[in-house]
Structure 1
Amino acid sequence: MTAPAPAPARTLDLRALRRVADHGMFWPVVALLVLLVACGLKSPGFLDVTLRDGHLFGQLIDLLRNSATPLLLALGMCLVIATGGIDLSVGAVMAIALAVSLTYLDGSPDPGSVGAVAVAIALGLAVGLVVGAFNGFMVAALGIQPFIATMILMVAGRGIAMLITQGQITTVTSPPFKSIGSGFLLGVPTPVVIAAVVFVLVTLLVRRTALGMFLESIGVNGEASRLAGVRARSTTWTVYVIAGVLAALAGLVYGAPTMAADANNIGLLKELDAIMVVVLGGTKLDGGRFNLGGLIAGALLLSTLERAVIIFELPSQTTPLFKAVVLIAVCVAASPYLRSLVESRRARASRPRPVEVVR
């Protein structure tokens, strides 16, 4: 038998390009690079990074800092969506956690001490744990639809935060707490370090243990996974707790630079940003397979888009419009229908034409 002839190099290159284009992160990364290049052309110093006093500065560093909050929210949201659920309360959890932490510091005799800040952070994270447990109880134990169950705290959460702050904007002076959102660690902004550490921990949790497989099986078919021995109820409860804790941490990181708990504005519409980051990262909202690596590209794309609106001197009120345009463009480019249409036309073009025989 003769060995099959090797495929032409051009065919192999096309196959490799198709595999790259089919990856969920391809189009978000392309959109991110396009935005970065456009901002760099409009603002010549946009891509510059400088080192001053051992700390990194520059607009790219600011993008990384601003991406920390949506990445933290999207990590929890992604796990919830993998089970076929949704969490609309993450924005309200941000407000409640920050209100609890700053209210404690405001009543502390020494709000600038490390001990008081540690307790304040622990209280804020505990709020996220309790809220996440409540959401998980509503969804996993009572069987309420996730959209309705989490909408309860989405609506009532800000009222809870207003009760905690007594309807006022609580402000505190605490340099250690402020450093959570505006400080540096080894020259890198603290929010970036926090987001990176949490990302690594969550990745290890879902990829080095059976949790990730359980989440995907529940998202694909919850009843089948239960019959197969997966503890669907406790697993679903767990991911809502994780989402609540990460939302509380995001609220502390987001509000630390100003050290002001504004219950009306902290975390407002951040749940939509988290869902957008998850979708841009290549995770489908119907549950099942999820992509944590794509969340980084999605968070960076979201922050770059918000900065591009400022660089191009556009009204800030138009930011949601451009978010929608980018989301539509990325989703359409990655849609299975468009892929099949391109593949069919490509196959039709490469098909050999019949040779006409002249008699």
Structure 2
Amino acid sequence: MSKTVNITSASQFDGLLKSSKLVVVDFYADWCGPCKQIAPIFEKLSGAISRENVVTFAKVNTENQKDIAQAYNVQGLPTFIVFRDGKVADRVTGANPLKLQAIVKKLSEQVSSLQNSGGESSGGDGAVWRGAALPRGYTDITQHIEVNRTELLNVDNQTGGVRVLFESSKPSALSKSTTTKKDWVESDTDEQLMLFLPFQAMLKLHTIQLTSLPPTDDDDDEAPTRPRTIKLFINKTHNLDFDEAEDMAATQQIELSGKDWNAEGTASIPLRYVKFQNINSLVLFVVDGESDSEKTRLDRIRLIGEAGEKREMGKLEKIGDEAGE
């Protein structure tokens, strides 16, 4: 007997997202050939992995439930969306059984690990920590950063390297861990940082989430501070130098203030989405910090949006900078 839940209303769907820790949803249509081809694999996964109130598989007929499909930006069929704690965690568009199986296996293992340890989804070693909720309809695409080719300029070598920025664990500044590992980065000679992020796929970038957790000792003039002014540049084949970035018109410039940072030390930065379509790299330039400190600090970076086809590793296609550059 199938364990898959057939969704017949938006209220039923909302209730399911609240009652089950992990929900895997097949958005399909009766006329869709690829949907029919992958349906048996989806049912096999459902029968093998479903666990009451923990992992639930569901199907949404997009012809009958158009509001649900629209709410989660379902544009191609089939689309599979994985929800964790009611939030979008990942998605697969198209009949790609290997990718679907890999995503479901990874997330179900995380849920099992959390249950066995008694941990929460936002804490615990090995868990995926989120400093802020995901915008509805979009997923965390940080994994598409080509980490081996990232470059961070003006970093203090006594703090963590660039890789710590993309770790999925909770920052040590928020946990009770006694580790001496510095899992953050600070600027070195002044408050500026320059980060080059090449991608493994063409991305549509909707939001950047930055976590910064400097110490709160008001008496320490040398303590690092959070970023204030940030400039973003897209589709560069290499990192910029500081003078170049100072003079160049940014794809978007952001001014952060105290109200932008939540209790987890995270700022969610919405982007001018139309300008961040089909991008293969991002340069993030921290221009200055929110105080007079000569150091700025970053603990984590998350990229939120949609990912396209994966490209060959190590190759950046120049698809054109924004007009006027």
Q: TM-score, normalised by structure 2?
A: 0.29
Say which structure, 1 or 2, has more relative contact order (CA 8 Å, 6+ apart): 1
Instruction: Determine which structure has more spread, i.e. the larger CA radius of gyration.
Output: 1
More helix by share: 1
More strand by share: 2
